[in-house]
Amino acid sequence: MSQTDFLHLMPLLILTVAALVNMLVIAAWRNHKIIYVITAVSFVAAFLSLFELRGITAYAIDPLFVIDGFGVFYIGLILATALLISMLSYAYFEQREEQKEEYYILLILSTLGACTLVISTHFASLFLGLEVLSVALYSLISYLRTRERSDEAGIKYLILAAFSSAFLLFGMALVYFSVGTMTFAGIATAMSGLQELPLLLLTGFGMMIIGIGFKLSVVPFHMWTPDVYEGAPAPVTAFIATVSKAGVLGIMIRFFLEVDGFRYPTLITIFTIVAISSMIAGNLLALMQKNVKRILAYSSISHLGYLLVAFLAGNQMGVEAITFYLVAYFITTVGAFGVVAMLSDKERDAELLEDYRGLLWRRPWTATAFTAMLLSLAGIPLTAGFVGKFYILAAGVSTQLWLLVAMLVLNSVIGLYYYIKVIAVMFQQPETEAETPKKRLRPSIYLASVGTLVVLTLLLLIVGVYPAALVEIIQNVFATAPEMVAR
Amino acid sequence: MILLWMIVILMAGGLLAWLSKKLHPVLPRWIALFAVSADFAIALYLWLGTPAASLGASPWLMQMEVPWVPQWGVNFILALDGLSLLMLLLTFFIGILAVLISWREIKVKTGFFHFNLLWVLAGITGVFLTMDLFLFYFFWEVMLIPMYFLIGVWGHANRNYAAYKFFIFTQASGLLMLLAILGLYFIHGSQTGNYTFNYFELLGTELAPEEARFLMFGFLAAFLVKLPVVPFHSWLPDAHSEAPTAGSVILAGLLLKTGAYGLLRFVLPLFPTATVEFAPWAMLLGVVGIIYGAILAYSQTDLKRLVAYTSVSHMGFVILGVFAFNQWALQGVVMQMIAHGLSTGALFIIAGFLYERLHTRDIGQMGGFWSKAPKMGVIAMVFVMASLGLPGLGNFIAEFLTLVGSWQANNWLTVFATIGVVLATAYSLRIMRKVFYEPAPSDHPLPDLNAREMLIAVPMVVVILWLGLYPQPILDTAQPSINQQLQAYQEPEVEKEKVAVVEVPEAKLRIEEVKK
């Protein structure tokens, strides 16, 4: 590897080094604050190093990676999200007795995995990234091991993720068997002559879709989602809902555009069925939940369904819409779980609807922020979620996916019901006078959390009211990656 | 620029009102009152400053355009014509009243209440002003959320259910409109290569009959639910009766009007062929609404629910008139929007006064108030008479013009619609009899209207009388934009009708026709 290769991989290297430094510091002196600062600084440093790569036109590190505008944007998105999540984690873990410091190492490692994923152009690096991401997640999910639910969630995720990795590997093997190469470009060349997918290749793709579908938690591979969301600590839930999905979605888009999978009606049919069933199942199941984390879990399933609508549009607008929607969805999701994390106490997370009753009267600002997040998830104007949903609808209408678009609209209405349910609970006037406030940590500890929430709420509104800036950035990103959007 | 200010004043006022609660508990009320009054003054100034004759050449008084999301062809376009101006005057007038009636009624979370109130008004103002379809949808939704909170937080006992129903009905129908907007956007874009949401450019889009039908139904979904037209009305009685007085007044006086405005502004000019096909059905729905609303109003025991059903009935006239496609009927529709906004708003205000004193909305427990509260009785009498269409009051002009117009379009349906006017007499007089004349079931003391309440009621009486006695200024102001909406329906008989003095645009149109 040459020096320029290293320069281009700088964000990833920074993360690697940060994980090592954290490990050494813990060995020398266990201190939550120091580890936290190192983590935050390394995320910021990695993010800033991306500015060196601005306006880059595909730089390939053969055969494993390619660093292009698309990759840089997704790495930036992942790093920013990871940074925000680590900000929210500090207050959350400060009040717990478990050893807190290793959490940050795992967080950095899984972020590294996600970043590796989005710049992969080879099955080997894809799998490597995916495993770094997943293995760190296993332990993150069951991090609060004294909680019963945490263990359950961790084991559930471990078994199912291992299972799905096996499917993915088998799928890759079959693809390799039929085309004789593992690089995306090689596969694309081998497939360029094919009008129909041969059975073996189709089986391979099918198995890969199972593996990917599990990570994205789309129906019918969604069974783990509510339990894991419920059992994992709130910041980790936010991480699963955002970073891990961005990584997988990024690689899926890259691979699919590269091999031009939209030519094959079979694949389109599979994705259409998955998209529609995710939207419907996610929303219908969410209607019956009484647990906020589970509501958000099922809503994330349906949101992935929405994203697939834009994915199926298969044109440049679709990819832009996905990217925009991801940004909006990340702001919203991190914000929502941030509120959950902030309201949680030592014993348990604030996850029952009961915990939110009359929140507007007890903590008006928190309730307002949470309301904004929920309205954004529901896609109401003035919030980023609305513009994102609009973008997806536009992408769908532009390629006349009327069935999918109609399902999206129908599901938005169903979704509205349960978001409003949470809001209505928060706005209920308390029957009795407020009970004595729970013992809380020093207010200064919450500074990072409160600051993050304020930033997120403002971002939500800015993107919602003036989306032109973000749209321009995204369009520029795809302008510098012409081969991505050759279609 | 002044158009933008009207929206900004309301939004900024809302934020200020919310924050100022900390300083002093009465401050939000004054800020809200001041913000809405300022807007009313601006609108009044614009209206008085533009004599009707100067409306001739182009119906547009002023316009502003700023790129907003240039990548998608979304522009921040605000434009004002006679129709919008009238609607704005109504909006701010009712807005002031809404602030005033909440002065004593709302006691908790006053800051947040006024924030919501002003933002609903801001959304409505935006809907009446914007000429960009993306922005239109944006404002259309912006007015929903605060309204949801107004009902859901400050409403009566069953408020949660009502707020839900209101929100989901309107949101679902709004999304269908969004799909139609997108459809129109892409069809226009693929034809001309110019992807834009600009209303003026989209006007000339050539649509295949099939496309036009689907897109029209998308728009209609939103507007017919909002209006509301039977059978999409079921959200209305719940929302109206559970909302606080200010909420009911804004719902009945303004939110319903956005539906009517949408029909006039978007459905008529955008889909001239599809609407003609649909017209008999739409008029039938209107007549069904008139009669059905009236019958249900007669059988209600809850005063606010009763008034809510009269809205269903009155809004039937609006759709009847809109789909008659002639100037008489459209003038009637515009008058109906204004007169109904005032008269129904006033009836809700009276229901609010009564509720404040008696803590019930059940008319079975009322009676004999004529002697106890004569001032209230007189005021109520005026608006009940307005609601039944007594000549000399605004609603009469509205219903008369609408019926004259719709007669030319469809005789039989008009006959049935006229029967609805008779039914209106029945339910209106029932209000007076039950509440004011029948012997009192209890000796509950009933203080008469105080000064603040008179300050609210008297201007409304004056305006409704003025509308009934001298409606010409309103008709003149609305005329050019009505011509504009009807441009695509030019029929020979239009020339004969001279409701107002303005003739310039008609002459121009004829020339254009010859050129074609």
Taking CA–CA distances from A398, the nearest residue in chain B reads B186
First to last CA, chain A: 32
pLDDT below 70 — which residues of chain B? 51-57, 491-516
Domain ranges for chain A: 3-430+442-485
The Cα–Cα gap between A449 and A128 comes to 33
Which single residue is written with the structure tokens 């997943």?
Answer: A134
Find all residues with CB under 8 Å of B266, minimum gap 6, and list them. Answer: B133, B136, B199, B219, B223
- Exposure string over B205-232, b if 16+ CB within 10 A, otherwise e: bebeeebbbbbbbbbbbbbbbbbbbbeb
User: Is A375 an interface residue toward B (CB < 8 Å)?
Assistant: yes
From the CA of B117, how many Å to the nearest CA of chain A?
A: 17
Alpha helices for A180-291 (secondary structure H)? 184-192, 199-216, 224-231, 234-239, 245-259, 265-287
Nearest to A275 by CA among A244, A252, A247, A242: A252
**What's the domain count of chain B?**
1
Which one-letter DSSP state was computed for residue A196?
A: S
* Helix residue spans in B157-302 (DSSP H): 159-192, 199-202, 209-226, 235-242, 245-250, 256-262, 268-270, 272-298
Which residues of chain B have a CB within 8 Å of the CB of A472?
71
> Could you give the maximum distance between any two Cα atoms of chain A, in Å?
73
Q: What is the largest CA-CA distance in chain B?
A: 75
Q: Report pLDDT for A197.
A: 86
Does A192 contact chain B (CB < 8 Å)? no
- What's the pLDDT at B435? 87
Half-sphere exposure of B499 (CA within 13 A, CB side): 28
| CA distance linking residue A404 with residue B8, whole number of Å | 38
Which 8-state DSSP code applies to residue A144?
Answer: S
Q: What is the pLDDT of residue A483?
A: 52
> Rounded CA gap, A218 and B313, in Å?
47
Rounded to an integer, what distance in angstroms lies between the CA atom of residue B217 and that of residue B223? 10
DSSP 3-state of A233: coil
What backbone torsions phi and psi does residue B23 show, to the nearest 5 degrees? -75, -50
Q: What is the ipTM of this complex?
A: 0.88
What token pair was written down for A317?
A: 């607008």
Q: Cα dist. A57→A8, A64, A143, A479, A482 in Å? A: 12, 17, 40, 9, 9
Task: Let me know: does B212 contact B183? Beta carbons within 8 Å.
Answer: no
Residue A58: CB atoms within 10 A of its CB come to: 16
Q: Are B488 and B264 in contact (CB under 8 A)?
A: no
A32 by Cβ neighbours in 10 Å (0-12 / 13-18 / 19+) ranks as: middle
Subunit contact B175:A375, Cβ cutoff 8 A: no
Q: Residue B1: is it exposed, middle or buried by C-beta count within 10 angstroms (0-12/13-18/19+)? A: exposed
3-class DSSP assignment, residue A468: helix
| Distance in angstroms (rounded) separating the CA atoms of residues B86 and B78 | 15
| CA pair distance B325, A73, nearest whole angstrom | 53
> 3-class SS at B231?
coil
CA atoms within 13 A on the CB side of B165: 17
Q: What is the pLDDT of residue A440?
A: 58
> Are the C-beta atoms of residues B252 and B308 closer than 8 Å to each other?
yes
Residues 6+ apart with CB under 8 A from B516: none
- A196: alpha, beta or left? (left if phi > 0; alpha if psi -120 to 50): beta
Size of interface A-B (CB pairs under 8 A): 71
Nearest CA in chain A to B176: A409
The candidate with the shortest Cα–Cα distance to A424, out of B214, B20, B170, B165, is: B165
Could you tell me which of A146, A141, A143 has the C-alpha nearest to residue A161? A141
Backbone region of residue B59 per phi and psi (left: phi > 0; alpha: psi in -120 to 50; beta: other values): alpha
CA separation, residue B80 to residues A280, B143, B261, B478, B483 (Å): 43, 19, 13, 12, 15
Minimum-distance CB partner of A475 among B71, B148, B175 = B71
Rounded Cα distance between B174 and B133, Å, is 12
Taking CA–CA distances from A473, the nearest residue in chain B reads B71
Distance set, CA A449 to CA A78, A86, A178, A373, A383 (Å): 19, 9, 51, 15, 21
pLDDT at B59: 79
Domain that holds residue B379: 2-198+206-515
What contacts A159, CB < 8 A, 6 or more positions away? none
Which residues of chain B from 58 to 97 reach within 8 Å of chain A, CB to CB?
67-72
Per-residue pLDDT at A55: 72
B279 Cβ under 8 Å from any chain A Cβ:
no
CB-based contact A418:A56 (threshold 8 Å): no
Decide if A381 and B163 are in contact by the 8 Å CB cutoff.
no
| pLDDT in the model for residue B21 | 86
Q: How many residues does chain A have?
A: 487
Residues 6 or more apart from B157 whose CB is under 8 A from it? B242
B176 touches chain A (CB under 8 A): yes
What does the pLDDT profile of chain A (487 residues) look like in tens digits? Answer: 788 888 889 999 999 999 999 999 999 988 899 999 999 999 999 999 998 887 777 888 888 999 988 899 999 999 999 999 999 998 888 887 778 889 999 999 999 999 999 999 999 999 999 999 999 999 999 998 888 888 899 999 999 999 999 999 999 999 999 999 999 999 999 988 888 888 999 999 999 999 999 999 998 999 999 999 999 999 999 999 999 999 999 999 999 988 888 888 999 999 999 999 999 999 999 998 989 999 999 999 999 999 999 999 888 889 999 999 999 999 999 999 999 998 888 778 888 888 888 888 888 889 999 999 999 999 998 899 999 999 999 999 988 899 999 999 999 999 998 999 899 888 887 765 555 555 555 677 788 889 999 999 999 999 999 999 999 989 888 776 545 444 3
Q: Which of B113, B158, B169, B171 to mutate to test the interface with A (most CBs of A within 10 A)?
A: B171
CA dist list (Å): B114 to A334, B111, B349: 30, 5, 18
* Closest chain A CA to residue B189: A398
pLDDT, residue B371, reads: 85
Annotate B26-93 with DSSP letters as a single string.
Answer: THHHHHHHHHHHHHHHHHHHHHHHS-GGGGSS-SEEEEEEEEEEGGGTEEEEEEEEHHHHHHHHHHHH
Q: Does A199 lie at the interface with B, CB-CB under 8 angstroms?
A: no
Q: Residue A471 and residue B69: Cβ atoms within 8 Å?
A: yes
Q: Residue A403 contacts by C-beta under 8 Å, 6 or more apart in sequence? A: A272, A276
**Of how many residues is chain B composed?**
516
- pTM of the full predicted structure? 0.90
Who among A398, A413, A472 is closest to B171 (CB)? A413
Minimal Cα–Cα distance from A216 to chain B, Å?
Answer: 27
Classify the phi-psi angles of B196: left when phi > 0, otherwise alpha if psi is within -120 to 50, otherwise beta: beta
Q: Which residue of B149, B153, B182 is in closest CB contact with A397?
A: B182
Residue B494 has what pLDDT?
A: 43
